[in-house]
Amino acid sequence: MRKQIKHLENMSEFVGLSVKGGVTNAPIINPYLTKTRKKPILSVEDYVKGILDGNISVLSQAVTLIESSLPAHQKLAHCILEKCLSFAGNSVRLGITGVPGAGKSTFIEVLGMYLVSQKGKKLAVLAIDPSSERTKGSILGDKTRMEELSASRNAFIRPSPASGSLGGVARKTRETIVLCEAAGFDTVIVETVGVGQSETAVHSMVDFFLLIQLAGTGDELQGIKRGIMEMADGIVINKADGENIEKSRLAQNLFKNALHLFPYPQSQWTAEVLLASAIEKTGISQVWNMVEKYIDFVIANGYFQNNRNEQSKYWMYETIDSQIKDRFYNNINIKKLLKQVEQDVLTHKISSFAAAHKLLDKYFCEEGYEID
C-alpha cells in the first residue's frame, strides 16, 4: 500500500497532479524542482567547496535547498549561506522589469549572450515572479525562451521560486544571489514582471534597475505603475526596429521629459533612456555601457557601498517585520477572530482601534488596553 502511494506520488509529479499535497503542495511539472524531494547527500562542507569551485550542479542543488520548505533543508541552506557570505558581493547586480510583452526574456537572452561571449562575463539570471504558478508557462518559459543563453557554460539561469509570499520569494532570490556570487558569477540579472510589489523587492537587492518599455500610442506613461519609473536607473525602449523606430524615438523623448519631473535620486545619477532591439540585436552594447558607467559613477561617489549597506539592513528588518506579522496572523486565535472583527469594523460596530486592540489582547493574552 505504501509502495502504491509512493508510486502514485511519482506518477502525479510527472503529470502535474498531487495525491497528498493539495494547495500547500502544488503540482510539480518543472523537472528542475523535483530535486527538492531527494535527500541532500552532501555535507555543508561539500556544498561550500562545490560552490566555491564553481560547480554548477552543486550550486543548483544548494539553491534548491534554499527554495525548499523542509526545515532540515532550510537549516542546511542557511549553514551553506553563512559560509559562502564572505566570498560573495563581487558582482554587478542588475534588476530588469517591464510589463508582459515588452520582450524581457528575449532582451535578457541577447544581453546575456553579449555579456558571456563578448565581455567574458559569468552571468546568473534569476527571477522573481510571485504571481507565477508552476503549471503556468512563465517558470519553464524562461529556460525555453533563453535557449542559446541556457546552453552557455558561463550562464546559470534559475526560474522564480515557485511558492510563498512575495517577501519569502524575494528573500530566497536574495540568498541565491549570494551563492551565485560565491560560485564566481560576476554579473547577476534579477528579472521581474511589472506587476504587484515585486519591483520594490528587486530594487532592494540590485545595484542598477532597468525598466524595459515599448513605444506605443503615446500612452506609455499611463501604463507605468506608481513609483516604477522613479526607481529606474535606466530605461530601454525595446523593439525599436523597422516601422517602430520613429515611434520609439518619440517615446524616448517622452520618457526623458517625464524623468525630469521626478526628484533627483540619492545616487545623483541621471537616468538614461536608450533604444534597443533584442530581435535585431541593436543597442545592446550601449545598454551595458550605461550600466558600467553607472557603476563607476556610484562607486566613485560612495553611493554603491552605501546602497548595499542599506539593502542589507532593509532585508534584516524586512525579515523581522514579516516574520512577526506572519506569526500574528497565523495564530489560531487570531485566524478565528479576524474576519468577524473586520466585519464589525466595516459595519461600524467597533472602531478600527478597538478592533485592533481586541485582536492584540487576544494574541498577547494580557491585562487590557496598552496603547502606544
74 touches a copy of itself (CB under 8 A): yes
> Please, what is the minimum distance in Å from the beta carbon of residue 313 to a copy of itself?
6
Which residues inside 303-322 make contact with a copy of itself, applying CB under 8 A? 309, 312-317, 319-321
Ramachandran quadrant class, 120 (left: phi over 0; alpha: psi -120 to 50; beta: rest): left
Our finding on whether 78 is near a copy of itself (CB under 8 A) is yes
Residue number with CB closer to a copy of itself (5 or 320)? 320
**Residue selected from 69, 268, 286, 333 as contacting a copy of itself according to rule CB under 8 A:** 69
Please tell me whether residue 107 binds a copy of itself under the rule CB under 8 A: no
If one asks whether residue 71 binds a copy of itself (CB under 8 A), the answer comes out as yes
Q: Describe the strand order of the beta sheet including 234-238 as a list of residue ranges.
A: 155-157, 123-128, 187-192, 92-97, 208-214, 234-238, 272-275
Member of 54, 89, 141, 184 binding a copy of itself (CB under 8 A): 89
Give the separation between CA 216 and CA 236, rounded to whole angstroms.
14
- Is 195 exposed, middle or buried (CB count within 10 Å of its CB: 0-12, 13-18, 19+)? middle
Residue 133 or 321 with smaller CB distance to a copy of itself: 321
Shortest distance, position 70 Cβ to a copy of itself, whole Å: 11
Cβ closer to a copy of itself: 83 or 281?
83
Would you mind telling me the total number of residues written for the chain in this entry? 372
HSE at residue 372, side-chain half, CA atoms within 13 A, is 1
Q: Which is nearer to a copy of itself, 298 or 359 (CB)?
A: 359
Residue number, 267 or 277, with CB nearest to a copy of itself: 267
Q: For 30-48, give the secondary structure using H, E and C.
A: CHHHHHHHCCCCCCHHHHH
Q: Which of 104, 121, 158, 171 binds a copy of itself (CB under 8 A)?
A: 171
Query: 114-153: which residues touch a copy of itself (CB under 8 A)?
Result: none
Q: Give the span between the Cα atoms of 144 and 224, in whole angstroms.
A: 28
Report whether 34 contacts 13 (CB < 8 A).
yes
C-alpha cell, 211: 525598466
Q: Is 345 in the site for a copy of itself (CB under 8 A)?
A: yes
| CA nearest to 199, candidates 266, 251, 127 | 127
Is 225 one of the binding residues for a copy of itself (CB under 8 A)? Answer: yes
Segment near a copy of itself (CB under 8 A); pick from 32-40, 164-172, 285-293, 294-302 = 164-172
Candidates 71, 181, 169, 178; CA nearest to 121 is 181
**Helix (H) or strand (E) segment spanning residue 326:** helix 303-330
- Residue 239 gets the label, from left (phi > 0), alpha (psi -120 to 50) or beta, of left
Q: Does 326 bind a copy of itself (CB under 8 A)?
A: yes
**Given the rule CB under 8 A, which of 3-11, 123-131, 187-195, 325-333 is the region that contacts a copy of itself?**
325-333
Check binding of 346 to a copy of itself (CB under 8 A).
yes
Measured between alpha carbons, how far is 231 from 209 in angstroms, rounded to an integer? 7
CB nearer to a copy of itself: give 289 or 312.
312
List the one residue from 324, 333, 335, 340 that touches a copy of itself (CB under 8 A): 324
Chain centroid to CA 83: how far? 23
Q: Which is nearer to a copy of itself, 165 or 289 (CB)?
A: 165
Give strand pairing partners of 95. Answer: 190, 209
269 binds a copy of itself per the rule CB under 8 A = no
Decide if 222 contacts 254 (C-beta within 8 A). Answer: no
Q: Is 184 left (phi over 0), alpha (psi -120 to 50) or beta?
A: left
Binds a copy of itself (CB under 8 A): choice among 108, 116, 224, 232: 224
CB closer to a copy of itself out of 186 and 344: 344
List contacts with a copy of itself (CB under 8 A): 69, 71, 74-75, 78, 81-82, 85-86, 89, 164-165, 168, 171, 174-175, 178, 221-227, 230, 258, 260-264, 309, 312-317, 319-321, 323-328, 341-342, 345-346, 348, 350-357, 359-360, 363-364, 368-372
